[in-house]
Structure 1
Amino acid sequence: MDVYRVSHIPVVDEAKYLGLVSDKLIYDLNLVEAQLSTAIDKLNTTHAHSDQHIFELAIVMYKLKISVLPVLDEDHYYLGAITLYDLARRFASLFSLQEVGGVLVIEMNVSDYSVAQISQIVESNDVKILSFFIDRKPGSNVLDVILKLDSDELSGVVQALMRYDYKVKAIYQDRSMLNDLYQDRFDQFMKFMNI
């Protein structure tokens, strides 16, 4: 467990999955490998199947607070396990997080939310949306729309969103481009002040 930095480990007997043992169970029952067979009935039998979507796997791991999720075939044979690290790597790939580009966070009321309008505004600035997330706080009618875009140059998109009365809550982009933008605006302001 320490080697893989997990707090759960699958128990398998000749490829047959028996359950998931936690470090807490091992400590609580003071188990050693030879005694594990005496605690088989206490093992968590949570598992996933190879055809399940990653969203389902994430929900199971989150709800059960497990660090490893065993994957089984139709005959209940152990195929392998998914760790939280595996899940994070897959999400990073799935959501284009490693792709070049900036991130915008737009705050709005639920009633104002329109994927079509947001997409149209962004794409009218020759920028593509790589991934799109919604973060709504429980009990609130305000949500954050998080956009991963294929460009680090976000000033045109931000200005267009603001023209449509969207509140841009946060901008994450390449710092050098942001510094250039601020420098350009500062230079323009200084020219204006000299007039």
Structure 2
Amino acid sequence: MQAYEFINNLIPPLKLTDRAGMALAWMEEIRIDSLPVTDQGRFLGFISDEVIFDLNEPEKPIGSIELEAGSCWVYSNKHIYDVLRVASEHQSNLVAVLDRENTYLGVVTMEDAISAFADSLSIKSQGSVLILSLAMTDYHLSEISRLVESENTKILSSFITNDPLDDSKIKLTLKLDKPELRHVKATLERFGYWVIDHYQEETGVSGEEDRIGNLLRFLDI
């Protein structure tokens, strides 16, 4: 799941000599709010439709407009996690992809990155989500997995975040392969684990909105 695998070839780069009006027309045509700008194969940054609208100078060359997020890029062999991290740091819907010679290869959209991230975490798989709060020193996935499997359930994927209510603890989110959580939850609590939230999926639920909802619940957003 490296960045280059998710390059969107439908998004063209702008040149410094291109006009602002043309850039805006491209954005409207492909329904995107920003485009990458390159010069002789080098990535320079992004320009947004908001900036162009504010300027209101359609004949102005891109090279005379201040660009944004010039460091919003990753190397082509970086994992999709790195794409999401860089996008979050720059609050950008696009991340440029470069080779090791810093030559521009293309961009990854957040829509594609999130879809890949969801696949890697088994979000689309039927099952349930369980969230635990625990100290980092108490985090032993092998032990937790053993307890979960004792109830004939398997952990499809796991995800750790900081607990915003307690700096000394983490939140461990588990994606399980069974929709029924009652016995797993009881077993974990019997062994001293604090289950702070859970989401059980109903069988037969499908559709894009449901998959997005599953992802957001999994990430606890």
* TM-score, with length taken from structure 1: 0.75
The 5 A counterparts of 1:51-66 are: 51-66=77-92
The CA deviation at 1:167 is 2.1
The residue matched to 1:59 in structure 2 has which SS?
Answer: helix
CA gap of 1:16–1:136, structure 2 versus 1, over 3 A, is closer
1:45 to 2:70 alignment: yes
Gaps of at least 5 residues in structure 2 are 1-26, 204-221
The CA deviation at 1:127 is 1.5
Partner of 2:197: 170
Which of these residues, 121, 136, 141, is aligned with residue 168 of structure 2? 141
The CA deviation at 1:170 is 2.0
Question: Residue 8 of structure 1 contacts residue 20 of structure 1 at CA under 8 Å; is this kept in 2?
Answer: yes
1:151-186 residue CA offsets vs partner (Å, 9 max, x unmatched) = 11222211211211222222212347xxxxxxxxxx
The residue matched to 1:81 in structure 2 has which SS?
Answer: strand
The residue matched to 1:97 in structure 2 has which SS?
Answer: coil
Partner of 2:35: 9
CA gap of 1:13–1:77, structure 2 versus 1, over 3 A, is same
* TM-score, with length taken from structure 2: 0.68
Which of these residues, 146, 156, 161, is aligned with residue 183 of structure 2? 156
The 5 A counterparts of 1:98-137 are: 98-137=124-163
Which of these residues, 9, 18, 21, is aligned with residue 47 of structure 2? 21
1:1-32 residue CA offsets vs partner (Å, 9 max, x unmatched) = 34555432112457554432123432444343
Tell me, in whole angstroms, the C-alpha distance in 1 between the residues paired with 2:68 and 2:130.
Answer: 44
User: Percent of counterpart pairs with the same letter?
Assistant: 34
The residue matched to 2:87 in structure 1 has which SS?
Answer: helix
1:82-113 residue CA offsets vs partner (Å, 9 max, x unmatched) = 11111110111111100111111122344433
Tell me, in whole angstroms, the C-alpha distance in 2 between the residues paired with 1:71 and 1:28.
Answer: 28
The CA deviation at 1:55 is 1.8
RMSD: 2.7
Larger Rg: 1
1:82 to 2:108 alignment: yes
CA gap of 1:145–1:16, structure 2 versus 1, over 3 A, is closer
Q: Return the structure number with greater helix share.
A: 1
Gaps of at least 5 residues in structure 1 are 177-195
